[in-house]
Amino acid sequence: MIVALRHAVAALACCALAACAGTPAPTDSNPTPRASIELRPAPPPAPPSLAPWAGRYSVTGAALEDDCGGEVILAAGEIEIDPTSRTLRADVVDREYDLEVEGDGLVATGRFPVESQCPESTVYERWELAGGVGGALEGELLSTWLTWPGCMRVCTVRFGVRAEPL
């Protein structure tokens, strides 16, 4: 290997000198096989498994803070955590949220079109859940909307939620 490196360094030096002098660089009459090194970035680490939380849960909760004047309610009765697709699905509203492990808990987020007086309006929701007693999940659901009049007012409801395994 050291001999091959010496040949490579000598050949490069000759090439540099030859390029300056305008003469062709000498060729190696006794080529030595050279190792090829290809540098690739390391693959990103696999995301933490969602398997410990997989399954269906019954959801209950109540508003802890409400900027929307009681107009937004907790509609979901059940959620399902799918570790393969890395999603949380909520029934009733039929929404699917992107799901990831954050710290010791789960965070699921999504933005969805909604029918309202505000054209092209969306709702942004964020579930923050952590393990509770008996396999339950406890945490909050943050639901943010644009509201009338003028579709410029943003309102947010923060629900305290508990999800019991089914």
Ramachandran sector of residue 19 (left: φ over 0; alpha: ψ -120 to 50; beta: rest)? alpha
Q: 111-145 burial, b if ≥16 CB within 10 A, otherwise e?
A: eeeeebebeebebebebbbeeeeeeebbbbbbbbb
- Give per-residue pLDDT as tens, 66-75: 999 898 899 9
Helix, strand, or coil (residue 131): strand
Task: Give the model's pLDDT for residue 149.
Answer: 75
User: 152: how many CB neighbours lie within 10 A of its CB?
Assistant: 9
Q: Which of 81, 72, 92 shows the shortest CA–CA distance to 158? A: 72
The pLDDT assigned to 8 comes to 40
Q: What per-residue confidence (pLDDT) applies to 152?
A: 83
Q: Per-residue pLDDT for the chain (166 aa), expressed as one digit of tens each? A: 333 434 443 443 434 444 445 555 555 566 666 777 888 888 889 999 999 999 999 999 999 999 998 988 999 999 999 999 999 999 988 999 999 999 999 999 999 988 877 887 889 999 999 998 889 999 999 999 988 777 888 999 999 999 999 9
Give pLDDT, residue 110.
97
